[in-house]
Structure 1
Amino acid sequence: MNKTAILILVAAVILTAIPLRADTYKYTDDRGDLHFVDDLGSVPKKYRKSARTMDDLPALSVMDAQPTAPARSRPAAPVRATAPRENSTKSVEVYVTSWCGYCKKALRYLNEKGVSYAVYDIEKDQDANRRHKELGGRGVPLIKIGANKVRGFDPEEIDRYLRQ
């Protein structure tokens, strides 16, 4: 082998050994909309201090690959957390899907805080889906705390609305 071939081989080995990493940043704007960008420069300056890196984004997965019958419209039966309620008299509703990693994180967080809540799966309950849309929901989780809404999983926002 000549020197050029060896250099190309060594360069290829070195380049494949270097992990390529692209950070994803999350921020919430003044309207409460949650945004994800892959470049901190894409975050408006006034939100950069609150932008956070999302190192642990959940992998996409299909929980139920078999087709299901459409849900019948019926009054939603909320599932209540078993943990004792935090010092809050506000009602808390969480709109989720079964495959959403951030929904699971939000529910786990509310349980750890001892917050009682009702959870609604917008893919399995047509009434919940309608309420989700009426609340301006475009994604999940959507957490309604009293009259306030938290779009996405944002522990600081959840805590702020629980304290109000």
Structure 2
Amino acid sequence: MNKTAILILAAVLILTAIPLRAETYKYTDDRGGLHFVDDLGSVPKKYRKSARTMDDLPALSVMDAQPTVPARPRPSAPVRATAPRENSANSVEVYVTSWCGYCKKALRYLNEKGVSYAVYDIEKDQDANRRHKELGGRGVPLIKIGANKVRGFDPEEIDRYLRQ
């Protein structure tokens, strides 16, 4: 091999060894909309203090995601946790899919808080899918607490709405 080929090969190896990643920021707007951007400058000024990097969020792992509800709930029949709700004036509905790691984390969190809830799998229950869309759901989990909606797994938002 000539020197040029060796230098090119070395440069390629060095460059591929450098981890390339951009920061991703998450923030929630006044209407409860969850937003993800790759530049803090893209976050409106009034939300910058509450913006968090994705590094602040727990890592997803199929290995640690033990289901907290039966894998196949009956169509239109909510699966309810047995613990009492923190605030009985707020009914809690959780729209999930079976493969969603953040859904499992949200359900585990509600269980740990002793919150009663109804869970609906939007892929296995057509009525739940329709209600999810009517609520403006574009992803999962979608957590309805009283009249409020939490899009995604956001413990701070969940706690805020449970206290109302």
TM-score by length of 2: 0.79
Task: Determine the C-alpha separation between the residues in 2 that align with 1:6 and 1:157.
Answer: 55
Q: Which runs of 5+ in 2 are unaligned?
A: none
Q: Secondary structure at the match of 2:50?
A: coil
The RMSD of aligned alpha carbons is 5.1
Q: Secondary structure at the match of 1:59?
A: coil
Q: Residues 139 and 151 of structure 1 are in contact (CA less than 8 Å); yes or no, is this contact kept in structure 2?
A: yes
Per the TM alignment, residue 101 of structure 1 is displaced from its structure 2 partner at its CA by 2.0
Q: Residues 61 and 101 of structure 2 are in contact (CA less than 8 Å); yes or no, is this contact kept in structure 1?
A: no
Task: Determine the C-alpha separation between the residues in 2 that align with 1:67 and 1:103.
Answer: 9
1:48/1:125 CA distance change after superposition, 3 Å: same
1:111/1:42 CA distance change after superposition, 3 Å: same
- Show structure 1 runs of 4+ deviating over 4 A: 56-75
Per the TM alignment, residue 124 of structure 1 is displaced from its structure 2 partner at its CA by 1.2
Q: Which runs of 5+ in 1 are unaligned?
A: none
1:18/1:144 CA distance change after superposition, 3 Å: same
What is the CA deviation profile of residues 11-58 of structure 1, one whole-angstrom value per residue up to 9, with x for unaligned ones?
222212111122222111122111122222222222121111123889
Deviates more, 1:80-89 or 1:27-36: 80-89
Q: Secondary structure at the match of 2:130?
A: helix
Aligned length: 164
Seq. identity, %: 94
Task: Determine the C-alpha separation between the residues in 2 that align with 1:68 and 1:84.
Answer: 16
1:72/1:50 CA distance change after superposition, 3 Å: closer
Per the TM alignment, residue 73 of structure 1 is displaced from its structure 2 partner at its CA by 14
Deviates more, 1:81-90 or 1:33-42: 81-90
Per the TM alignment, residue 5 of structure 1 is displaced from its structure 2 partner at its CA by 3.7
Q: Secondary structure at the match of 2:27?
A: strand
Q: Residues 95 and 128 of structure 2 are in contact (CA less than 8 Å); yes or no, is this contact kept in structure 1?
A: yes
Q: Residues 94 and 141 of structure 1 are in contact (CA less than 8 Å); yes or no, is this contact kept in structure 2?
A: yes
Task: Determine the C-alpha separation between the residues in 2 that align with 1:82 and 1:67.
Answer: 16
1:65/1:49 CA distance change after superposition, 3 Å: closer
TM-score by length of 1: 0.79
Q: Residues 67 and 104 of structure 2 are in contact (CA less than 8 Å); yes or no, is this contact kept in structure 1?
A: no
Task: Determine the C-alpha separation between the residues in 1 that align with 2:6 and 2:104.
Answer: 50
Q: Residues 73 and 79 of structure 2 are in contact (CA less than 8 Å); yes or no, is this contact kept in structure 1?
A: no
Q: Residues 73 and 127 of structure 1 are in contact (CA less than 8 Å); yes or no, is this contact kept in structure 2?
A: no
